[in-house]
């Protein structure tokens, strides 16, 4: 199969390259595509160097599946052009709420893939939404979820490489007792937590929070009530979600542990002792969605609490995109 990656030199693009290699995805020809600034540079795939091509002049008819990981503006302009010749799997937020574009997390709603032909575009979900719905799906099937309250703790890699560099430089300056400058965050990110991701809406929520509300409903069930707070934390890779889940039915805690541990993509690490849980550092470079701190909410009937962690560049982006392609091949 002929594959193209737009945004190949970015954080997610490089991860897509690694996932394709690690999964032995059937790649006949691979085209790496990026901006004119990156064109001419080279990246390795299966031991061979591949030269990066210029997006502005790239011929999409050479590709059967094209992954877009270059941001919403690039997807808005180039994805429809690519979709005339190639199936597009888009990692940006631009097409997610388009009614003619399926928003896919394969473990949750692969049945919606059949709708891709309307625009020849499939949207990849938000990097915090993906692990959340992977964990919610088997619980919703069992007990019917009424409402969730989520707080996300999102690493700086979700904002791009420059944001990662800013965290590292601020950390160095802080430890050397120097003044800190912020270019990519609204406040100091080193040794801090910022309750603000993306721009504010009139409702008081941020766009990032609204994405979660809308995407959970589109992927899982429009009847589920959702509220959330998104926080940027000084961690390089992996996002975490603390979620309170209210069911419409009574539940059994042991059954919840069992079903989560046997559901696709999930791994339960939940020992009630020091260190008996997963943190963002441990989830980095792992394919699984980790679930810890499973417990009853003693303040509310039919309600539990979970702690969910996954690598935002993998399951939150690159891995999910490649798994969409794998699921598509199976149904074609």
For residue 127, indicate whether it is catalytic.
yes
Helix and strand counts by DSSP (H, E) for the chain: 9, 14
Distance, in Å, from the CA atom of 159 to the CA atom of 175, rounded to the nearest integer, reads 23
The residue annotated as part of the active site, out of 127, 140, 213, 266, is 127
Q: Give me the torsion for CA of 192, 196, 197, 203, rounded to 10°.
A: 170
Map tokens 């802080």 to a residue.
Answer: 174
43 - beta bridge partners?
A: 50
Structure tokens at 268: 């339960």
The residue annotated as part of the active site, out of 140, 213, 239, 266, is 239
The β-bridge relationship of strands 42-45 and 48-54 is antiparallel
For residue 266, indicate whether it is catalytic.
no
C-alpha 72: how far from chain center: 14
Question: Cα angle at 197 between 304 and 122, to 5 degrees?
Answer: 80
Question: Annotated catalytic sites, by residue?
Answer: 127, 239
């Amino acid at each position: 199969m002929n594959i193209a990656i737009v945004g190949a030199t970015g954080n997610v693009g490089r991860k897509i390259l690694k996932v394709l290699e690690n999964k032995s995805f059937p790649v006949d020809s691979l085209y790496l595509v990026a901006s004119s600034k990156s064109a001419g540079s080279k990246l390795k795939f299966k031991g061979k160097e591949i030269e990066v091509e210029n997006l502005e002049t790239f011929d999409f008819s050479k590709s059967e599946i094209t992954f877009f990981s270059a941001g919403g503006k690039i997807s808005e302009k180039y994805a429809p052009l690519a979709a005339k010749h190639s199936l597009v799997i888009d990692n940006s937020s631009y097409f997610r709420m388009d009614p003619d574009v399926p928003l896919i997390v394969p473990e949750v709603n692969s049945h919606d893939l059949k709708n891709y032909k309307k625009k020849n575009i499939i949207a990849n979900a938000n990097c915090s939404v993906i692990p959340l719905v992977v964990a919610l799906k088997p619980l919703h099937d069992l007990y019917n979820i009424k409402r969730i309250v989520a707080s996300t703790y999102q690493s700086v890699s979700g904002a791009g490489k420059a944001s990662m560099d800013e965290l590292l430089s601020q950390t160095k300056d802080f430890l050397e007792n120097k003044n800190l400058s912020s270019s990519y965050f609204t406040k100091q990110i080193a040794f801090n937590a910022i309750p603000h991701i993306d721009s504010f809406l009139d409702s008081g929520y941020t766009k990032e929070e609204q994405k979660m509300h809308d995407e959970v409903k589109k992927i899982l069930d429009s009847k589920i009530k959702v509220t959330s707070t998104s926080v940027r934390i000084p961690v390089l890779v992996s996002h975490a979600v603390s979620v309170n889940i209210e069911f419409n039915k009574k539940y059994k805690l042991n059954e919840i542990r069992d079903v989560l541990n046997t559901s696709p993509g999930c791994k339960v690490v939940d020992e009630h002792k020091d260190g008996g849980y997963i943190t963002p550092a441990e989830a980095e470079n792992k394919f699984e969605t980790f679930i810890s701190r499973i417990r009853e909410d003693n303040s509310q009937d039919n309600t539990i609490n979970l702690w969910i962690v996954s690598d935002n560049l993998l399951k939150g982006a690159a891995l999910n995109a490649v798994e969409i392609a794998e699921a598509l091949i199976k149904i074609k």
